Amino acid sequence: MYAHPWDGSFNHAVLEETIKTLKQNGQEYTLIDLNKDGFNPVLTESELSVYGKSGYKDPLVDKYIKILKATDKIVFVFPIWWIGAPAILKGFFDKVFLKDKIISFENPSMTKVKKALLLTTSELTTDALVNEFTDPIRVLNYPIKSMGAKEILWHNFGNIILSEEPERVDYLNNVSGFVEELL
Ligand SMILES: Cc1cc2nc3c(=O)[nH]c(=O)nc-3n(C[C@H](O)[C@H](O)[C@H](O)COP(=O)(O)O)c2cc1C
């Protein structure tokens, strides 16, 4: 699950490392690239009218439900924007995490997903993100746990604006280890 609009971004480099590691480990994967898909994160009036019955109108929602149902692990790669996920990823939860399709409050295992890995980047240090503001990952734990995930791993490359090239290279070298933790 990738939520960044620009292929020249650091997040894109993290995505590439993630995919390389999955391939090296013989792990089959399906990439959801929300921006490349042109996903519209806005839940419209007509979509909300069928939301209560877990209906949807966007064909991408159908595609994403099938992908989520077929996997037991998910990697999320995204930057922290306003102490949270970019709007396109927030909208993914709004539109795709439908009751009795992806989430259930009675049956905590609507999907086979048991583990999730979140790889994020931020301008703030990780410590400031967690301790001075609302920890964005705690907030995201809610939808991810609602789909049945028992374990959520998180690695953030904080202070990214002030980071120097060697630190960035170092982090990218560590990504394969983070992904292997999930496998
Ligand atoms: C719209 C927007 C909102 C942002 N909000 C935050 C924020 O709340 N906290 C933070 O630490 N960084 C914030 N940033 C900085 C990004 O996290 C940072 O630019 C990104 O992680 C860098 O990775 P990239 O080169 O892959 O884009 C924001 C950036 C943008 C564009």
pLDDT for 106: 81
CATH number at residue 116: 3.40.50.360
pLDDT for 107: 76
Tokens representing 98 are 């439908």
Within-domain flag for 3: no
pLDDT for 155: 98
Measured in angstroms, how far is the CA atom of residue 163 from the centroid of ligand 1?
A: 13
Q: Measure the CA–CA gap between 183 and 176, rounded to whole angstroms.
A: 11
Of 54, 89, 60, 96, nearest in space to 75 by CA:
89
Partners of residue 74 on adjacent β-strands: 116
Partners of residue 31 on adjacent β-strands: none
Per run of 10 residues, the mean pLDDT along the chain (length 183 residues) is: 98 98 98 98 98 97 98 98 97 97 84 97 96 90 93 97 96 98 97
Domain, as residue range, for 24: 10-182
pLDDT for 109: 75
Is ligand 1 within 6 A of the CB of residue 156?
Answer: no
Q: Measure the CA–CA gap between 161 and 173, rounded to whole angstroms.
A: 19
- What atom in ligand 1 is closest to the CA of residue 83? 8
Count of structural domains, the chain:
1
Q: How far is CA 40 from the centre of its chain?
A: 16
